[in-house]
Chain A
């Protein structure tokens, strides 16, 4: 069954889009990430104009993340205070990111900046997580006791910087400065790469701040909803690239997928969860690295600037 998309100005198969929404929603719910970095390339592959793909998939992220946030609220696994700080820093970072985006475009190397950032972020974050989970796995096999996740007096020095705040739900008592820096960076990368930044928030909260896994997912989803709603409205106003029909199809597929993903995520062992996320990030990073290194079959590419009367 085909349906014509009014803004993308092309027909797509309804079942295919529903399926894609469900698959990405599942991963998104499982790991507490937005999934934009998976959905955007898929949509572009279908022939949907890149601007429409980036803008529209943010609607799906809003929907699936809203579901997750509501679920987290009910299970009391959302740290409002931590989430609010992430959102504030994220907005400032987004402004800087948009500015850098324009500068790179003027220099004519936006594509390169985006692909290199993807490769660096995904491979670095992915391999760090993979290393950690393999080490954890080996200690367990050798029968050694796994280090408790938190130990007294084990905090890194930057967590003890001034302006310390208490985050009850995350069992944290740390300086606000490193958290703000993290959120600035996420906002910056998000605006530059068109992603919510969940895949940076999740490992950062897990490894740097040692926040419990369930709180990490709820809080990162909260941050994603706030950033993405703003991005969605900006895209609609500035680029007029949000396709409502495509958005609804993606959302319907996505909410179902996200439900099952979240349910499975709750039953997943923490080490396995981190191992799978590491593999996913590494795989995406390697895919982008290949794109950069392998000789393209077609060295030419075509972009269309819409001439609207």
Chain B
């Protein structure tokens, strides 16, 4: 086109970023990439390679090794061998290494940006301006955590070897999120990049070598899902960190159940983007662009459900359509486009199928008038209106450039629709009314809320979800807590159940000495008879029958969870109020100390002195959590923007607690007190062997202003009760203190709603030991962190 013609048309021209250096790098490796194990490039024992394809043109970029069993074995061995030395190097030396990695990433930033765009199909604008700068920032930030580790995480140690499996949507950024905190803390890693996008991880491996990182600290093994399974199943790996689909996350949870592996999962989402009528609508429209057309919508936290207040819906949709007409889609290396290619044909087919389904179900689809390129893997930005919450496309994650629109009338309704999903990753809230925005944000059940913004990320701010979006946080202090553990954990002895009841055949019950007491369950603030109508005998240490408790079943669990669900007032009441209730519990327990001590020594083999000590410790523990209730506070992060990110510690919701056999009072209080102090509602299964300390305790609850439903007690056989509790879809976390088998059962049963679990992995804690029984770990387990991004300025 001549200059004169362009002068008239004022069109944009092509603005290609050169791929020369990336091509040269691929050529340097002769288009074939081996595994990076123990600091060396190793050919896979499988002798198999698979192609990596550029989705923008369907052409191969190179061949990638497929790791098999022997290769994962070698990588795990290399990581194990390197770990102790890496840990012993100390925080400062590790900080130097991470700093060097940050610098070398910056020095190679354009190569990495172009390579990522070629491999993934995302616009080079995004890799250049967002992905790669965040990668470097992540290493800088975590160099700092390594430096401060001794002072900030005393009495903690790295978990050991961490297996990490990452997705294809942000290949190098997800690598950084996984590797930087892990190695900063002194762990070593085996990372498997996604099959579609391995190249930048391999380039990173090369940079690790160049930057002088010790061999074996970072091992990169490429391959498909089967290679990932081998990592998940490897016995000598201490933790698995996974980012990807909920389906795969569920399989990983199942596969690792009972293995003792720590697990963090960052899974799918169907995040709401809520626009109130007092929002800056033009800016909100631009927000939608950043929410759903960023990386072609292949973003776990994409704002894929647009919820608009009814009064402005028509206006907003009209503006959005006009904006969509202006979007440009094309060659990812063109610096003048908004959207690039979908990662692979299989993903394109998924998107097409869901869009078709949406139309079949009666939603109205709209796409801009311009057409997407025919060659290569492209899909146009797509808007659905006339969508109901019941529609498939309103519930299923599409993972493509497709946004569905629904309307709401009131803030409450917005929250309801927003939370009407199995997922809980992120949300975006648009309003110029700070009262409204800050009121809505805490009500959204998700891990991240962006006020008047969207898809903001920073190394200092934790990221991660609730519900079926996974658990664990990455980034900031929250993320460091996921790669460290208290040092005592490794020293804990094995848990031994209290053993079979001795049965003397005698009854110690005498209605003359004391009137018959029927211990019931405690559900919704009321004593409740067991649904089964059966009771179980409780024996003394000598084997005499000293009472009976209800034989609880799954229906009692159901009733207890329902009662807990209704007690939301406890979660929203002030921390001061909760503190008062905990102190009051302590007061009332203290009054009856002798009675509780007698009960302990009657049930267990301990001396009267030891039993008294247990009650005293329980009273103290209630005081401890009364104290913590209003002191385990939120943090404020300072990401690089004008604004703050509020890392709000929130109650998890309904928590199931399965108590250990030993220390029937102290064990129970040690677990229940932190949970309720943080605002959770609890279903408690007391010591199976010694349940009377728990059933006695409901009288203390009744006299201490504990609202009904906050602490529910279901007695019975733990083998029968654990499963329905751990499977219940309305329970958000289950704690299990007991044997290995039960720990495995809880973890396996959790996969339905991907609830959090905290199990003892068959280890036994000393409930008198403050570090083991009332450490910050308990508060951490009793809360989840929501990062609320609040940009400001007028």
Partners in one complex: no
